[in-house]
Structure 1
Amino acid sequence: LSYVDGFDITRHWGNKSSYHSANDFDMTRHWGHLSPYHPADSFGIQDIGIPSNCEVSQVHILHRHGQRFPTTAFNDGGNTQRFAYKESARWWASGFFDNSDGGSSSTSYDLLVIPEDGTENNTLVAHDSCRNSDDDIIRCFEDTTQGVFTNNYLKTVLARLSNYLDPKFNLTIMDVYAMQTICPYEVAYQGSSDFCRLFTEQEWIDFDYALSLRFYGNRSFGNPTGRVHDIGYVQELLARLQNQYIYVGNISVNSTLDNNPTTFPLGQPFYLDMTHDNIMVGVLSALGLNYFKGSPTGLPYNITHAPNPPENF
């Protein structure tokens, strides 16, 4: 469970950095994968419990950490956050087993740490197993849709902010988008950011949708290869449900790990896998959950603002 130290939800946008407006609009819910942890909204389905004559025999959780720091990418801060997954798993388990110090629960579970150095088959970092995942032809789906929409919704923002700068300063759309992106990163790191106050409620809704287009066009239904990336985890899920080892590795499955009772135990009542945000999107898509698919033509992107009502993705 994650939280951001220093948040004060009673403050309104003004001279001080704050994240709720006067009408209780919470911008932190519109930072996409950069948002701090929030409980998921209801799907509108009444909870009727477990059907009669049924019982829960196995639980599978695919999880990521709460709020995130930059990765090693050149446009993402040049930092690394691999430690976050191991630490998140350890602290999550400590909460689950009611051990507040974060370490004493380790005797209650086995934690398998799979390297992600770009050379191993790892279903929780499946892009390392697919050398073509960053190919320009594949990336063009996310780059095109997100780029078109970002240029559309930030045009007026660019003009507004340029009014405060020397005419010789060539502010660009990418500069403005970077300002929006800095906001959640600074909040995660230092608890506040003056960049957050530069944008309106609608512009934060649009920022959120731009990130949705990015993930939709990268690892989901908006890319013809999107669901293939993360089919490996689905294979492992099926193997656990069928109580079977995987002896032949394909796609991102590591058969060395998955046919070993120490590293791939079967018959467990509870499984927790900590991974990355894009992997989770790919797994949900590989499972064929059409709730997130959108219209037959995909998510609209050559528009001025995010759709209202919002898309399910």
Structure 2
Amino acid sequence: MAMDKIKSLMLSVAVATALEAGAISPRATPTQPDWFQTSPDLYAGTVATGAAPFLAEINPAPFGEATYVHNAPLETSEPIKGAHGRNIFHLMGDLSPYFSPEEGFCVDEYPLPRGANITQMHLLQRHGARYPSSSEGLDSWGAGIVNATAKGTVFQGELEFLNDWSYKLGKEILVPKGRQELFDSGILNFYNYGHLWDNSSKIVVRTTLQSRMLESCENFLAGFFGLNWRNHANILATIDPATTGEFSCTKEGETIADTIEIPVGTWMATYLKERTAELKRLAGNYTWTVTDTYHAQSLCSYETISLGYSDFCRLFTYEDWVNYAYLMDIEFAGYSGFHSPTGRAQGSAWVEEFLARIEGHLLDVPANTTGANMTLDTNPVTFPLDQKLYLEFTHDANIVSVLTAFGLTQFADPLPLRSCAFYMCSYSNES
């Protein structure tokens, strides 16, 4: 398969380069490279560090209301129209600070049946809270706002803060809250599954070389094992995104317009229509559009998790946030979930690996029928079968695709594009 040849070539070049630089450790043999080398990281992706938070100075609290996220370094008590004590930070999709939903995972949950034992734990964990990705264009939007004010635009009313505002966020990498989330997750999982840890040998943990992925893995391991985690785990880090499932279908891009762009654009224009009209009246000679409103709403999430507080949050009502959460549902369902014709294919490789592990054999599917890395999955060093703990760190879209490949249809609800908040809509089989 062409993709397998490309991966093998890339791996060979990376190993050869590391050997010349003396980066391969003495543990590596002439026939086995050091699979678990994570430094130097040559595939971190596009990264940039944002401004350090200064919440003690910029926080206008107290607002007189309870903070939504308790014992956390985020100011989330800002009054939101129509919230009545409800938490908008649970309605931000993949940008929400990590929380456990009260409703669980859409299924009834029961204690372990009498006589049953847990013998393995397979964890697929998303990275922690991050700065915006390069593709979102928020830095360009911020530059446009600053340029407009420099040329004389005067924002009024609720947008007045933009007259002195500047964009302070980085790109791609974890924010401090993201590091905390993964450290806390490691501690939580140790409490739940620490009994399965066999201290007699190191376990192999998988992630990618993208900065936020590798650091999420490391912070989790520090929480689970302690700061000496390197004595207990080897990290197998592969190049992102070639090994995370997105490229399982070579013609996936041809479906994006129908499954993501059109439904997302339609819903965005629907639920933000009134809010855009209101903000446009406050924008002076700046041509404020639906896209501007959406960027402002996204910055509420990103500035809060990055800087601790955001003035953008107060621009939106509780209903706006309910509709924003629905927008995220539409996007993920169309990209890698049940609404995508390629969603199941994107997650099938991990399901094949999972089945191989619990059945106790190396992956044995034909190379041209899977998105899995057959070089790694047929090697007992990089695909061990004797672990009780399998810890892997990936992206949110990949987790959605795995749920789709497993056929967990409780995530397959239709998502109608109607002119009302989704909690008021009556679901049907209509698309």
Q: Above 0.5 in TM-score?
A: yes
* Equivalence for 1:86: 214
CA distance 1:171–1:32, shift in 2 (3 Å): same
SS in 2 for 1:304: coil
Give me the whole-angstrom Cα distance separating, in 1, the residues matched to 2:348 and 2:213: 21
SS of residue in 1 equivalent to 2:263:
helix
| C-alpha distance in structure 2 between counterparts of 1:79 and 1:310, whole Å | 39
Distance change (3 Å), C-alpha of 1:28 and 1:152: same
CA contact (8 A) 2:336 2:344 kept: yes
CA RMSD of aligned residues (A): 2.7
Does structure 1 conserve the Cα–Cα contact (< 8 Å) formed by 2:217 and 2:393?
yes
SS in 2 for 1:307: helix
How far apart in 2 are the matches of 1:39 and 1:72? 28
Residues 271 and 225 (structure 1 numbering): CA distance in 2 closer, same or farther, change over 3 Å? Answer: same
Residue in 1 that maps onto 2:148: none
Counterpart for residue 147 of structure 1: 265
Match among 94, 99, 105 for residue 38 of structure 1: 99
Q: CA deviation at 1:285?
A: 1.1
**Partner Cα distance (1:18, 1:50) in 2:** 36
TM-score, normalization by structure 2: 0.62
Tell me the number of residue pairs that the alignment of Structure 1 and Structure 2 aligns.
291
1:304 positional shift = 2.8
| Map of 1:307 onto structure 2 | 423
Partner secondary structure for residue 230 of structure 1? helix
- Say which of 365, 370, 378 aligns to 1:259: 378
Q: How far 1:309 sits from its partner (Å)?
A: 7.6
Give the structure 1 partner of residue 85 of structure 2: 24
Matched, 1:104 2:166: no
What SS does structure 2 have at the residue aligned with 1:60?
A: strand
Task: Give how far 1:18 is off.
Answer: 3.7
The SS at the match of 1:112 is strand
Contact 1:20 1:26 in 2 (8 A): no
Q: Which amino acid aligns with 1:53?
A: G
CA contact (8 A) 2:280 2:289 kept: no
Aligned to 2:392: 273
* Structure 2 residue matching 1:241: 3-state secondary structure: helix
Superposition deviation, residue 302 in structure 1: 3.0
The whole-number CA distance in structure 1 between the counterparts of 2:318 and 2:136 is 29
Any stretches of 5+ residues in structure 2 without a counterpart?
1-52, 67-74, 140-169, 174-209
Matched, 1:212 2:304: no
Aligned to 2:114: 52
Report sequence identity in percent.
30
Q: 1:175 aligns with which of 261, 283, 292?
A: 292
If the length of structure 1 is used for normalisation, what is the TM-score?
A: 0.84
Structure 1 residue corresponding to 2:127, chosen from 41, 50, 65: 65
Asked if the contact 1:139/1:218 (under 8 Å) is kept, the reply is no
Check the 8 A contact 1:126/1:230 in 2, yes or no.
Answer: yes
Counterparts of 1:45 and 1:290, CA distance in 2: 11
Q: Which amino acid in the other structure matches residue 91 of structure 1?
A: N
Q: CA deviation at 1:10?
A: 7.2
**For 1:292 and 1:196, how far apart are their aligned partners in 2?**
29
Structure 1: give runs of 5+ residues left out of the alignment.
Answer: none
Q: Which structure's CA Rg is the greater one? A: 2
